[in-house]
Amino acid sequence: MTKTRGETRARILRTAADLFQRQGYGATGLNQVLAESGAPKGSLYFHFPQGKEQLAAEAVALAGGEMGARMASVVGSAGGAEEAVLGVGELLARGLRESGFRDGCPVATVALEQAGGEGPISDVCQVTYGSWLSGLAEAFRGWGAADEEADELAELVMSSLQGALLLAQVRRDTAVVSSVARRVGSVVARSLESAAHPDKGTGRNA
């Protein structure tokens, strides 16, 4: 029984994560979640007694954590910052293509609806983006960036790729994600190179 209940909860959560990513919070109803998950009626409030808000917060956390793990894998296997940015860009672009341009960022749709608000969903969105940024910044520090610069470069990468992903979804073409990743990756690489060799190109002798 415990296993069955756990499987039902996981199925509801997975279905909700997919629907919230695609449709947003407002457009996703609990009846739709139940219907598409195949969960019994009444099971949603049994597993999520605080209702839709609790379900959405946990679903965003699930989807955001999964994306964060995939990003970490891509960045961790990269040979440098530029390759890491290109890899994250391709990760996002591939997900968009494979979904038929229906599913963009797993957090963005809900985050935009919650922007400026307060509550558990907004908190989860902030934590999720914060985790992604921290992972990128930590990698950039490993490649020689100072603390503040690493944070700023992570914000540049994430904001640029998020914007490119939205534009790609509108155009139904991921070329813009690739081009933005390439440009931003080059900027990051040059910034790290300048940090490593501050006198390069200044005309001063070492």
Q: Rounded to whole angstroms, how far apart are CA atoms 94 and 168?
A: 11
Query: Would you say residue 203 has pLDDT above 50?
Result: no
The DSSP-derived string for 44-71 is HHHH-TTTHHHHHHHHHHHHHHHHHHHH
Crossing angle (nearest 10°) for helices 120-142 and 81-98: 140
The SS3 call for residue 93 is: helix
pLDDT confidence of residue 184: 98
State what percent of residues in the chain have pLDDT above 70.
94
pLDDT band at 136 (very low <50, low <70, confident <90, very high): very high
Whether the pLDDT of residue 115 is over 90: the answer is no
Q: Determine how many CB atoms are found less than 10 A away from the CB of residue 187.
A: 17
Cβ–Cβ contacts within 10 Å for residue 179, how many?
12
**Mean predicted lDDT score pLDDT of the chain:** 93
Q: What is the CA radius of gyration of the chain?
A: 20
pLDDT at position 112, please?
Answer: 93
Please report the pLDDT score of residue 202 as a whole number. Answer: 45
Other CB atoms closer than 10 Å to residue 107's CB: what's the count?
A: 24
Cβ atoms of residues 192 and 145 within 8 Å: yes
User: DSSP label at 80?
Assistant: S
Select from 114, 93, 94 the least CA-distant residue to 25.
114
Residue, of 1 and 173, whose pLDDT is higher: 173
pLDDT band for position 205 (50/70/90)?
A: very low
Domain ranges in the chain? Answer: 51-196
Q: Which residue has the higher pLDDT, 204 or 194?
A: 194
Q: In which band, very low, low, confident or very high, does the pLDDT at 200 lie, cut at 50, 70 and 90?
A: low
User: Does domain 51-196 bear CATH number 3.40.50.300?
Assistant: no
pLDDT in tens, 3-54: 587 899 999 999 999 999 999 999 999 999 999 999 998 899 999 999 999 9
159 contacts 113 by C-beta, under 8 angstroms:
no
